Structure 1
Amino acid sequence: MAQDVVDIGDRKQLFIDGRWLRNAHGVKLTVNPPVKHERVLTPDHPWESRFIGHYKTIIEHEGRLHLWYLASGPSTSNDRATHHQSTCYATSRDGLHWERPSTGVIEWEGHRDNNIVMCGTDEISVMLDPNGPDEHRFKALSPVNETPVWPESLKANTCKPCPPDNMYYECHLLTSPDGIHWKIAGVVSPYAHDNNNHFFFDRRLNRYVAYFRWNVCDNVCGIQRIRTLGRLEFDDPMQLPWPYRLNAASNVLPDGRVGWQGGEFPIVMEADQQDPFLPCTDINDAPVVQYPWADDSYYLSFPSFYRHYDQDVIPVEACAYEDPQRANVTNRHNTGVKDVQLAVSAEGVNWERPERKPYIPLGLEGDWDGGMTYAGLGLVRRDDEIWMYFSGVQARHGTADHRRTYGGIARLVQRLDGFVSADFDYTGGEFTTPLVRFSGTHLLLNVDCSALGEVRVELRDERGIPIGAYNRSGPYRGYSMAESIPIDRNHLAVAARWRDHDDVAALIGRPVRLHFRGRAAKLYSFQFVTP
Structure 2
Amino acid sequence: MTDVSRRGLLRAAGALGAGAVLPVTAAGAAAAVPAHPATAAHRGPGRAGRPADLGDRLELMAGTALVEQLDGAAFRLHQPVRREVAMTTDRPWEGSACHYRHVFRDGDTYRMYYTALDYDVRDGRVDIPHPGRIALAQSTDGITWTRPSLGLVEFDGSTDNNLVAGAGESHTFVFKDTNPAAPADARYKAIELADNATALYPLKSADGLTFSRISGTPMMVWGPKTGHGLVNMAFDTLNVAFWDPAIERYRLYIRYWPDLDDGGTYRAIMVSTSADFLTWSVPELLEYPGSPAPEENLYTNNVVRYHRAPHTLLGFPMRYVQPAGWMVSHLHLPNVEHREERSRASERYGTAMTDTLFMSSRDGTVFDRWDEAYIQPGPGVENWKYADNSVGCGIVVTPSQVGGAPDELSIYATEGYWTGDELDVVRYSMRVDGFVSLHAPRSGGEAITAPIRVGGEHLVLNLATSAAGRVRVEVQNPAGRPIDGFSLEESDPLFGDDLARVVTWRRGDPGLGALVGRPVRLRFVLDDADVYSLRFRAAITFDGTEAMVEGHHDDGTLTAAQRQALLAELAAARTAAAGGRTDDAVAALDRFLAAAGAVSDDAARDTLREAGTVLTRQVADPWPTLYGWLGGDVEPEKGNLENLGLSSALVALDYRNRSVGAAFWEPVAITALTLRDVDGTTRLTPGDLSVYVSDTNDGDWRRVEGVQVARVPGGFTFTGFDVTARYVKVVQPHSDDAFTFTNQLSKMLEVTTA
**TM-score w.r.t. length of structure 1:** 0.80
Check the 8 A contact 2:90/2:423 in 1, yes or no: no
Which residue pairs with 1:150 in the alignment?
A: none
Check the 8 A contact 2:139/2:145 in 1, yes or no: yes
Among candidates 176, 184, 201, match of residue 128 of structure 1: 176
Which residue pairs with 1:9 in the alignment?
A: 55
Which residue pairs with 2:110 in the alignment?
A: 65
Per-residue deviation, 1:320: 3.9
Which residue pairs with 2:34 in the alignment?
A: none
Which residue pairs with 2:638 in the alignment?
A: none
Which residue pairs with 2:251 in the alignment?
A: 209
Per-residue deviation, 1:56: 0.4
Which residue pairs with 2:745 in the alignment?
A: none
Per-residue deviation, 1:394: 2.8
Which residue pairs with 2:204 in the alignment?
A: 175
Secondary structure of the equivalent of 2:189?
strand
Which residue pairs with 1:346 in the alignment?
A: 362
Query: What is the CA–CA distance in structure 2 between the aligned matches of 1:93 and 1:368, rounded to whole Å?
Result: 28
Instruction: Write out per-residue CA displacement over residues 108-149 of structure 1, whole angstroms, 9 at most, x where no aligned residue.
Output: 0111111111475122222211232111111111314xxxxx
Check the 8 A contact 1:56/1:124 in 2, yes or no: no
Secondary structure of the equivalent of 2:146?
coil
Among candidates 284, 297, 300, match of residue 266 of structure 1: 284
Question: Structure 2 vs 1, CA of residues 270 and 285 (structure 1 numbering), >3 Å: closer, same or farther?
Answer: farther
Per-residue deviation, 1:521: 0.9
Per-residue deviation, 1:390: 2.1
Structure 1 unaligned blocks of 5 or more: 145-157, 162-167, 245-264, 469-477
Among candidates 408, 411, 416, match of residue 424 of structure 2: 408
Per-residue deviation, 1:492: 1.3
Check the 8 A contact 2:298/2:317 in 1, yes or no: yes
Per-residue deviation, 1:6: 1.4
Query: What is the CA–CA distance in structure 2 between the aligned matches of 1:517 and 1:8, rounded to whole Å?
Result: 21
Instruction: Write out per-residue CA displacement over residues 162-186 of structure 1, whole angstroms, 9 at most, x where no aligned residue.
Output: xxxxxx4532222111111011234
Question: Structure 2 vs 1, CA of residues 96 and 284 (structure 1 numbering), >3 Å: closer, same or farther?
Answer: same
Instruction: Write out per-residue CA displacement over residues 4-25 of structure 1, whole angstroms, 9 at most, x where no aligned residue.
Output: 2111222211111241222210
Query: What is the CA–CA distance in structure 2 between the aligned matches of 1:439 and 1:231, rounded to whole Å?
Result: 32
Asked whether 1:238 is paired with 2:278, we answer yes
Per-residue deviation, 1:106: 1.0
Which residue pairs with 2:242 in the alignment?
A: 200
Question: Structure 2 vs 1, CA of residues 364 and 74 (structure 1 numbering), >3 Å: closer, same or farther?
Answer: closer
Question: Structure 2 vs 1, CA of residues 34 and 41 (structure 1 numbering), >3 Å: closer, same or farther?
Answer: same
Which residue pairs with 2:317 in the alignment?
A: 303
Query: What is the CA–CA distance in structure 2 between the aligned matches of 1:407 and 1:23, rounded to whole Å?
Result: 45
Secondary structure of the equivalent of 1:390?
strand
Which residue pairs with 2:77 in the alignment?
A: 31
Which residue pairs with 2:411 in the alignment?
A: 389
Query: What is the CA–CA distance in structure 1 between the aligned matches of 2:391 and 2:428, rounded to whole Å?
Result: 10
Give the alignment's Cα RMSD to 1 decimal.
Answer: 2.7
Check the 8 A contact 2:90/2:422 in 1, yes or no: no
Per-residue deviation, 1:448: 0.9
Instruction: Give the partner amino acid of 2:505.
Output: W
Instruction: Write out per-residue CA displacement over residues 332-379 of structure 1, whole angstroms, 9 at most, x where no aligned residue.
Output: 2454100001011121111122x4221122132414676621112111
Secondary structure of the equivalent of 2:390?
strand
Query: What is the CA–CA distance in structure 2 between the aligned matches of 1:223 and 1:486, rounded to whole Å?
Result: 57
Which residue pairs with 1:164 in the alignment?
A: none
Query: What is the CA–CA distance in structure 2 between the aligned matches of 1:507 and 1:223, rounded to whole Å?
Result: 57
Query: What is the CA–CA distance in structure 2 between the aligned matches of 1:324 and 1:350, rounded to whole Å?
Result: 37
Asked whether 1:429 is paired with 2:440, we answer no
Question: Structure 2 vs 1, CA of residues 9 and 273 (structure 1 numbering), >3 Å: closer, same or farther?
Answer: closer
Instruction: Write out per-residue CA displacement over residues 50-91 of structure 1, whole angstroms, 9 at most, x where no aligned residue.
Output: 343x1101121121111101122489xxxx989332111111
Check the 8 A contact 2:353/2:384 in 1, yes or no: no
Q: Residues 508-523 of structure 1: matches in 2 within 5 Å?
A: 508-523=516-531
Larger Rg: 1 or 2?
A: 2
Asked whether 1:21 is paired with 2:67, we answer yes
Secondary structure of the equivalent of 1:226?
coil
More strand by share: 1
Secondary structure of the equivalent of 2:505?
coil
Question: Structure 2 vs 1, CA of residues 74 and 366 (structure 1 numbering), >3 Å: closer, same or farther?
Answer: closer
Q: Residues 152-167 of structure 1: matches in 2 within 5 Å?
A: 158=195, 161=196
**TM-score w.r.t. length of structure 2:** 0.57
Among candidates 323, 332, 349, match of residue 347 of structure 2: 332
Check the 8 A contact 1:441/1:508 in 2, yes or no: yes
Query: What is the CA–CA distance in structure 2 between the aligned matches of 1:479 and 1:272, rounded to whole Å?
Result: 35
Check the 8 A contact 1:270/1:283 in 2, yes or no: no
Which residue pairs with 1:502 in the alignment?
A: 510
Instruction: Give the partner amino acid of 2:364.
Output: G
Which residue pairs with 2:301 in the alignment?
A: 286
Check the 8 A contact 1:24/1:430 in 2, yes or no: yes
Secondary structure of the equivalent of 2:342?
helix
Check the 8 A contact 1:12/1:526 in 2, yes or no: yes
Which residue pairs with 1:137 in the alignment?
A: 187
Check the 8 A contact 1:72/1:83 in 2, yes or no: yes
Query: What is the CA–CA distance in structure 1 between the aligned matches of 2:457 and 2:340, rounded to whole Å?
Result: 67
Query: What is the CA–CA distance in structure 2 between the aligned matches of 1:449 and 1:100, rounded to whole Å?
Result: 41
Instruction: Give the partner amino acid of 1:507.
Output: L
Check the 8 A contact 1:369/1:392 in 2, yes or no: no
Among candidates 359, 364, 375, match of residue 379 of structure 2: 364
Query: What is the CA–CA distance in structure 2 between the aligned matches of 1:272 and 1:196, rounded to whole Å?
Result: 26
Instruction: Give the partner amino acid of 1:514.
Output: L
Which residue pairs with 2:150 in the alignment?
A: 103
Check the 8 A contact 1:228/1:270 in 2, yes or no: no
Query: What is the CA–CA distance in structure 2 between the aligned matches of 1:285 and 1:3, rounded to whole Å?
Result: 36
Q: Residues 48-59 of structure 1: matches in 2 within 5 Å?
A: 48-52=94-98, 54-59=99-104
Which residue pairs with 2:161 in the alignment?
A: 114
Question: Structure 2 vs 1, CA of residues 522 and 370 (structure 1 numbering), >3 Å: closer, same or farther?
Answer: farther
Check the 8 A contact 2:314/2:361 in 1, yes or no: yes
Instruction: Write out per-residue CA displacement over residues 238-275 of structure 1, whole angstroms, 9 at most, x where no aligned residue.
Output: 34xx344xxxxxxxxxxxxxxxxxxxx32115899833
Instruction: Give the partner amino acid of 2:534.
Output: F
Secondary structure of the equivalent of 1:309?
coil
Which residue pairs with 1:151 in the alignment?
A: none
Number of residue pairs the alignment of both structures matches: 460
Instruction: Write out per-residue CA displacement over residues 266-320 of structure 1, whole angstroms, 9 at most, x where no aligned residue.
Output: 21158998339x8xx511111101111025x211100110111211666966964
Query: What is the CA–CA distance in structure 2 between the aligned matches of 1:312 and 1:350, rounded to whole Å?
Result: 35
Question: Structure 2 vs 1, CA of residues 232 and 330 (structure 1 numbering), >3 Å: closer, same or farther?
Answer: same
Query: What is the CA–CA distance in structure 2 between the aligned matches of 1:31 and 1:320, rounded to whole Å?
Result: 31
Structure 2 unaligned blocks of 5 or more: 1-47, 121-126, 223-233, 400-405, 541-754
Instruction: Give the partner amino acid of 1:362.
Output: P
Instruction: Give the partner amino acid of 1:342.
Output: F
Structure with larger RCO (C-alpha < 8 A, sep 6+) = 1
Check the 8 A contact 1:125/1:141 in 2, yes or no: yes
Instruction: Give the partner amino acid of 1:391.
Output: A
Which residue pairs with 1:252 in the alignment?
A: none
